[in-house]
């Protein structure tokens, strides 16, 4: 079977606008969650989120083109540019054998909200002609492929909070099946809007710690009360192993396992069985190796954190390694989360450091693993697992190996 490795990384989120500053801030336990500034949250029950800061979309596309794309595409372009530069591709790269695999849970929600308001207040003739092509999820891959000239498969995953992880596994499958030599994965989300925050708040899914944003997202803590919305993007360049070695590429790691499953249980409440089966599938594909670190889905919701803990223990038993969630630092970036967390896993392997779970102060008897709660920890990470679970009962798991 053809092997797949990662040779380029990019990332942007609420604690940094590139992979190095983001990873450093995450490991230092910095928190990018604060009172919402993108819109006025005064009349909302939830007033906090993890917004990307000091980002100018005209730095990633021509100023006159900015209005043609939603913010999630702007963020995705930023991450993709960083990953492509990081991969240091040769001039003779065959772009007809270079594809795109994009992921987003919601896509252009700000554009949908804005143009719906225009429809009601000003009529259908005032809707922007750029609305549809700028809001569709697959246009993330479309804009990125046009910018970088990739002419291979152009795929999109729209699987809620598992979209970024599924985008990586889909890219991996494409290379394994010889559909491409290289794939650029990009996962992006920007749903911090009135309807986005209001919708999740109506479901009682979000934390309401408006008076203390920095401690609002507290994965695995007994006093957790919901997730905090984040936004951001991540990008990874995947290559067939032999061709990457032949060109002397710097390799961050190899994807040795991926697993997918469906809960068939409830539209919003996750099961234990579904995530456990996705983890088991990835683990078996990887050859049941010793896992050194698990980057948890760890949303800071009562049900997810308890079920994920139980599923990991069911799979790994006494060999369960340290597990942490970075959502306390950056919030839950929905469809971008799995991409960002994959980048964090690979950088943790590169640097030999486990990012911490912040805001853990009160033990939950149902969450009794080592969550790296005392700050970042030096550790040799040869194999890492990354979990993502989404609404609708869609699950994705990745396992990376250091080379």
| Nearest C-alpha neighbor of 323 from the set 377, 364, 280 | 377
CA end-to-end span of the chain: 17
Q: Which of 161, 172, 333, 367 is catalytic?
A: 161
161: annotated active-site residue: yes
- 17 near 7, Cβ under 8 Å? no
The span from the CA of 299 to the CA of 277, in Å, is: 19
Bridge partners (DSSP) listed for residue 354 = 377
Q: Which of 297, 333, 345, 367 is catalytic?
A: 297
Bridge partners (DSSP) listed for residue 261 = 395
Q: What order of strands is seen across the sheet that includes strand 383-390?
A: 154-157, 98-103, 182-189, 232-240, 4-12, 253-262, 394-401, 383-390, 293-295, 323-324
Q: Which of 74, 148, 166, 332 is catalytic?
A: 332
297: annotated active-site residue: yes
Assign residue 80 a region: left if phi > 0, alpha if psi is -120 to 50, beta otherwise?
Answer: alpha
74: annotated active-site residue: no
Strands 4-12 and 48-50: unpaired
- What residues are annotated to the active site? 161, 297, 332
């Amino acid at each position: 079977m053809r092997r797949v490795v990662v040779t380029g990384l990019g990332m942007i989120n609420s604690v940094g606008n590139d992979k190095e500053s983001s990873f450093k801030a995450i490991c230092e336990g910095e928190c990018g969650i604060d009172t919402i500034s993108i819109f006025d949250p005064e009349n909302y029950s939830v007033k906090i989120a993890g917004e990307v800061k000091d980002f100018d979309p005209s730095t990633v596309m021509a100023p006159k083109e900015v209005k043609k794309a939603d913010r999630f595409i702007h963020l995705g372009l930023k991450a993709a540019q960083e990953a492509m530069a990081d991969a240091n591709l040769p001039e003779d790269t065959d772009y007809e054998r270079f594809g795109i695999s994009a992921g987003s849970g919601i896509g252009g929600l700000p554009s949908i909200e804005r143009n719906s308001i225009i429809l009601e207040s000003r009529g259908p003739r005032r809707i922007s002609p750029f609305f549809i092509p700028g809001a569709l999820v697959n246009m993330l891959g479309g804009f990125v492929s046009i910018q970088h000239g990739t002419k291979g498969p152009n795929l999109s995953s729209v699987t809620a909070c598992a979209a970024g992880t599924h985008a990586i596994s889909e890219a991996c499958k494409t290379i394994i099946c010889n559909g491409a030599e290289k794939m650029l994965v990009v996962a992006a989300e920007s749903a911090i809007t009135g309807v986005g925050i209001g919708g999740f708040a109506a479901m009682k899914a979000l934390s309401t710690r408006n008076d203390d944003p920095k401690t609002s997202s507290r994965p695995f803590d007994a006093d957790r009360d919901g997730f905090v919305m984040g936004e951001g993007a991540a990008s990874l360049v995947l290559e067939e192993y032999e061709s990457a070695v032949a060109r002397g590429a710097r390799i961050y790691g190899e994807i040795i396992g991926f697993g997918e499953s469906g809960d068939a249980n409830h539209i919003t409440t996750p099961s234990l069985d579904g995530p456990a089966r996705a983890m088991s599938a990835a683990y078996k594909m990887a050859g049941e190796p010793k896992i050194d670190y698990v980057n948890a889905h760890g949303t800071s919701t009562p049900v997810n954190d308890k079920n994920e803990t139980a599923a990991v223990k069911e799979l790994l038993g006494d060999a369960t390694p340290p597990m942490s969630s970075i959502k306390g630092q950056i919030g839950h970036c929905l469809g971008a989360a799995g991409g960002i967390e994959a980048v964090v896993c690979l950088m943790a392997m590169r640097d030999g450091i486990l990012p911490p779970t912040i805001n853990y102060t009160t033990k939950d008897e149902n969450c009794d693993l080592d969550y790296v709660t005392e700050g970042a920890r030096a550790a040799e990470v040869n194999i890492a697992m990354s979990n993502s679970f989404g609404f609708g009962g869609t699950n994705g798991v990745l396992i990376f190996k250091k080379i």
